[in-house]
């Protein structure tokens, strides 16, 4: 029976499983696996059949074609682009000239008619995709090297597409890849997947991964989406929408009956064109422009994003269980514009981070940029840095002009570019998102890449040398000139464990997925104002009062409208952006505590936000002015604080990230603390409800002197020492005045005495006590002293964690030996 099955020329999805890769390739085998085992779990897979690899070999054998192909490839130098192009073209033409055996034609036609009948159509439209037998393996990515044909209907068109697919086993990029990986050209076969088309040309489609593609963070589903057929997203010819969904709290909906909606990040892409069926034209598909109003909208609803993310979890769990180890997955999805249903149309193992040694932490550090400037910005791919001379290649026909070792700059890449991409120092493209071809190949090759720059080919036209920096988060930067950089490697298996909780200070949410790999016990300080400054830019009251208040000024209104065009209620923009920023940080470190400090802008900093001057007084000394707790209950800012509370509520109650702890800054008096808690409760944040803890910054001498009252059970759950402000207020220093810096710092005896006093009170009362100022990052001896005095946690800058951890470990060992 099994031997007979190996000789079959056509097999249906219902007959296939992942173990059938040798028969039908990775794509068809995976679709069969999901069709058989996951349809019952609600995952929708369009039906189809596979024309087997046996059919491919049968075609070559029936036409005695193997030896002529070997002769054409004999002596090939795959690094010679021109030689590769000429020989590849001859092989493909040879295969396309072969005659299909009659029995093979008969079986293909019968299967196609059966599929058409299943969908009640005379000649149903299909997607015809190549599926190589070495494709979609965990340690090799052949995806995209062979051809795909969409909107294929009718027997003549199907047979022609099949012949082109068979020939595409010898595309230039496929030949080059097999040569590089050491695969024999004839031990690999090609199957063809014939699948019912999803009419995403009338809706949208995209790609999703069951991890973050840049950092490898495993608790996220990353989804991209654009209008029309999916080829534009895969090829990188559009900048798609992007969504992140947090898996652990999404899964709790099924396991614990919760109703969390953890879409922790959304980004609107330009999506300026859509691929549709070409009715009556010479081609099967064509691109048309997308109206501006649709470009500025997200093309998926929240419910659809959550359903796709749920499917991603189901697929990953199934393949992981089957493999006996975690198996992150790379999937393609499509929405049918006729039925409004979602479908999965492909799934394969993720091939970059799954092959990375997770015990080695590699950190790229850019050198001094003071004498340079940023020329181009886009989406970063990975976290590497590279530099070299610019080489602009506008068309794939010109790739022979590419100079190895230079920085490739182009509109976009597709699989035809593969032979030269491996030789680039870095890659920059005008188009594409983080799941486009250039991004996928760059990750696999370990090459720094910035995609979606918009006009990089124009801006870099007269530039000689650049440095491509992907180390600073989601935004990739292209710097003028060659900037030195270093690579720091840490073996995480050799890191000692310590009792003192070493936490981190994080502002930028874009770095959170990478920072969470550093040994830590959570976040001791997440600065809300960083998110406001980087993602919102608008004073909260200008949004609350819109279209009145500050928005009466036409310039202010225009700036608000440009940033909030998707929102009729402008306050929702503030809440959503702030919640997403906090949510990414909280998700990265979940379930460890993430201490989020409510806004601590000074009045001059608030005034710098769009519309800010309308609401902020001019103060001679903003450092000691209307800041922190004193704003929250004040009638002139309370409405803005209500938005901050709404964002925290969304993170905890909607995203399910109950690990978020609220921290109140610059609370001068006990009475002020009580007013803040009353105001928080007014806006739905009550201490103790759903486990909510509320800490206060200990950064004013009054906090130390009245610590017993501040840490009473009806006020704050703990203190985090703000060493910067407490130092300046103890010594009477302006921390921004460089001429006074020599007078003292956190090591000053008076400052340390206050530290010790509040640590003792907190420990006596059984309350949390940590420190989140700059001091322990700058002075290792201060960290040692704090451990000795009984501090619970030390929050550090990410680049100080590992060195401080070693200092703390040594101190704890010393204390243990003396006790």
CB crowding 323-342: b at 16 or more within 10 Å, else e: eeeebbbbbbbbbbbeeeeb
Known catalytic residues are: 437, 772
Note the pLDDT tens digit of each residue in 487-546: 888 887 888 889 999 999 998 898 899 899 889 999 999 999 999 998 999 999 999 999
Distances 231 to 150, 196, 381, 629 between C-alpha atoms, Å: 9, 16, 20, 52
Nearest alpha carbon to residue 700 among 734, 677, 740, 666: 666
435 or 627: whose pLDDT is higher?
627
Tokens in use for 515? 């920072």
pLDDT surpassing 50 at residue 137: no
pLDDT value of residue 142 = 47
Find the Cα–Cα–Cα–Cα dihedral 769, 771, 772, 777, rounded to 10°.
-150
Tokens in use for 605? 């900093």
pLDDT value of residue 632 = 98
pLDDT surpassing 60 at residue 164: yes
pLDDT surpassing 50 at residue 136: no
Do 800 and 491 contact (CB within 8 A), yes or no?
no
Judged by average pLDDT, the poorest of 43-57, 60-74, 424-438 is: 424-438
> Three-class SS of residue 554?
helix
> Three-class SS of residue 429?
strand
Note the pLDDT tens digit of each residue in 537-596: 999 999 999 999 999 999 999 999 999 999 999 999 999 999 999 999 999 999 999 999
d(CA 443, CA 449) in angstroms, rounded, equals 8
177 or 766: whose pLDDT is higher?
766
* % of the chain surpassing 70 pLDDT: 96
Q: For residue 3, what pLDDT band results from cuts at 50, 70 and 90?
A: low
Tokens in use for 20? 């059938």
DSSP summary character for residue 532: I
pLDDT value of residue 771 = 96
d(CA 707, CA 224) in angstroms, rounded, equals 50
pLDDT surpassing 80 at residue 742: no
> Per this entry, what is the length of the chain?
819
d(CA 700, CA 723) in angstroms, rounded, equals 10
pLDDT value of residue 495 = 84
Note the pLDDT tens digit of each residue in 275-302: 999 876 556 889 999 999 999 999 999 9
Distances 765 to 672, 710, 761, 770, 812 between C-alpha atoms, Å: 21, 11, 6, 14, 23
Cα–chain center distance at 317: 20
**DSSP secondary structure string, 254-297?**
HHT------EEEEE-----EEEEE-TTSSSSEEEEEPPHHHHTS
**DSSP secondary structure string, 800-816?**
GHHHHHHHHHHHHHHHH
DSSP summary character for residue 113: H
Strands 768-771 and 718-721: parallel
pTM of the model: 0.87
pLDDT value of residue 280 = 62
pLDDT value of residue 214 = 86
Note the pLDDT tens digit of each residue in 450-480: 999 999 999 999 999 999 999 887 889 999 9
pLDDT surpassing 60 at residue 140: no
Distances 608 to 139, 565, 604 between C-alpha atoms, Å: 50, 21, 7
Note the pLDDT tens digit of each residue in 678-700: 999 999 999 999 999 999 999 99
Do 18 and 29 contact (CB within 8 A), yes or no?
yes
Q: For residue 162, what pLDDT band results from cuts at 50, 70 and 90?
A: very high
Q: For residue 802, what pLDDT band results from cuts at 50, 70 and 90?
A: confident
pLDDT surpassing 50 at residue 139: no
Residues 235-249, mean pLDDT to the nearest whole number: 93
pLDDT value of residue 1 = 41
pLDDT value of residue 618 = 95
Mean pLDDT of the chain: 91
Helices 749-765 and 723-731: angle between axes, nearest 10 degrees: 130
Do 798 and 522 contact (CB within 8 A), yes or no?
no
């Amino acid at each position: 029976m099994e031997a007979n099955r190996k000789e079959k020329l056509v097999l249906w999805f219902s007959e296939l499983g992942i173990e059938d890769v040798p028969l039908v390739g990775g794509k068809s085998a995976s679709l069969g696996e999901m069709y058989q085992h996951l349809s019952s779990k609600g995952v929708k897979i369009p039906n189809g059949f596979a024309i087997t690899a046996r059919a491919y070999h049968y075609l070559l054998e029936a036409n005695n074609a193997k030896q002529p192909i070997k002769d054409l490839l004999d002596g090939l130098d795959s690094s010679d682009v021109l030689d590769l192009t000429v020989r590849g073209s001859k092989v493909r033409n040879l295969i396309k000239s072969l005659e299909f055996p009659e029995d093979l034609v008969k079986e293909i036609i019968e299967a196609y008619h059966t599929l058409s009948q299943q969908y009640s159509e005379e000649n149903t439209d299909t997607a015809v995709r190549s599926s190589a037998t070495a494709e979609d393996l965990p340690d090799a990515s052949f995806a995209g090297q062979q051809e795909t044909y969409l909107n294929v209907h009718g027997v003549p068109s199907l047979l022609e597409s099949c012949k082109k697919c068979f020939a595409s086993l010898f595309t230039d990029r496929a030949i080059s890849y097999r040569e590089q990986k050491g695969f024999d050209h004839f031990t690999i076969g090609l199957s063809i997947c014939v699948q019912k088309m999803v009419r995403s040309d009338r809706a949208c489609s995209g790609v999703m991964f069951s991890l973050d593609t840049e950092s490898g963070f495993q608790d996220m589903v990353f989804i991209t989406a654009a209008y029309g057929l999916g080829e534009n997203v895969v090829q990188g010819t559009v900048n798609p929408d992007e969504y992140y969904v947090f898996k652990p709290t999404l899964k709790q909906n099924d396991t614990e009956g919760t109703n969390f909606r953890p879409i922790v990040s959304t980004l609107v892409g330009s999506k300026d064109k859509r691929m549709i069926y070409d009715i009556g034209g010479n081609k099967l598909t064509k691109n048309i422009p997308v109206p501006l109003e649709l470009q500025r909208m997200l093309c998926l609803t929240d419910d659809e994003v959550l359903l796709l993310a749920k499917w991603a979890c189901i697929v990953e769990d199934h393949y992981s269980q089957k493999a006996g180890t975690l198996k992150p997955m790379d999937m393609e999805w499509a929405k049918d514009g006729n039925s409004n249903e979602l479908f999965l149309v492909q799934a394969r193992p993720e091939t970059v981070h799954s092959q990375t040694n997770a015990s080695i932490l590699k950190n790229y550090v850019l050198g001094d940029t003071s004498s340079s400037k940023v020329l181009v910005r886009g989406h970063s791919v990975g976290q590497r840095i590279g530099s070299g001379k610019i080489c602009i290649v506008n068309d794939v026909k010109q790739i022979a002009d590419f100079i190895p070792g230079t920085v490739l700059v182009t509109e976009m890449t597709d699989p035809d570019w593969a032979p030269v991409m491996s030789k680039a120092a870095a890659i920059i493209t005008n188009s594409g998102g983080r799941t486009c071809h250039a991004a996928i190949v760059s990750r696999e090759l370990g090459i720094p890449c910035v995609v979606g720059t918009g006009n990089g080919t124009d801006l870099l036209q007269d530039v000689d040398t650049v440095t491509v920096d992907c180390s600073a988060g989601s935004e990739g930067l292209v710097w003028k000139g060659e900037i030195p950089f270093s690579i720091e490697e840490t073996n995480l298996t050799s890191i000692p464990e310590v009792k003192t909780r070493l936490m981190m200070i994080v502002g930028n949410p874009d770095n959170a997925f990478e920072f969470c790999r550093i040994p830590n016990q959570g976040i001791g300080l997440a600065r809300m104002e960083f998110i406001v400054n980087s993602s919102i830019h608008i004073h909260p009251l200008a949004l609350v009062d819109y279209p009145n208040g500050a928005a009466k000024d036409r310039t202010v209104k225009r700036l608000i409208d440009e940033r909030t065009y998707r929102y009729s209620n402008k306050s929702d923009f503030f809440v959503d952006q702030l919640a997403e920023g906090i949510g990414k940080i909280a998700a990265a470190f979940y379930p460890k505590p993430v201490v989020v400090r409510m806004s601590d802008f000074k009045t001059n900093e608030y005034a710098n936000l769009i519309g800010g001057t309308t609401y902020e007084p001019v103060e001679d000394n903003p450092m000691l002015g209307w800041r922190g707790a004193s704003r929250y209950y004040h009638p002139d800012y309370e409405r803005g604080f209500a938005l901050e509370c709404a964002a925290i509520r969304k993170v905890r109650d909607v995203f399910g990230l109950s690990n978020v702890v609220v921290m109140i800054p610059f609370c001068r008096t006990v009475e002020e603390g009580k007013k803040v808690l009353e105001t928080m409760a007014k806006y739905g944040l009550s201490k103790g409800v759903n486990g909510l803890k509320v800490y206060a910054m200990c950064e004013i001498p009054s906090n130390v002197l009245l610590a017993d009252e501040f840490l009473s059970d009806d006020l704050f759950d703990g203190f985090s020492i703000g060493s910067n402000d407490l130092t300046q207020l103890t010594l009477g220093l302006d921390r921004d005045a460089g001429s006074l810096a020599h007078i003292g710092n956190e090591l000053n005896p008076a400052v340390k005495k206050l530290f010790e006093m509040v640590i003792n009170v907190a420990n006596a009362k059984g309350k949390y006590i940590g420190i989140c100022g700059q001091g322990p990052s700058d002075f290792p001896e201060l960290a040692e002293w704090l451990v000795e005095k009984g501090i619970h946690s030390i929050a550090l800058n990410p680049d100080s964690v590992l060195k401080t951890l070693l200092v703390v470990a040594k101190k704890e060992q010393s204390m243990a030996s003396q006790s």
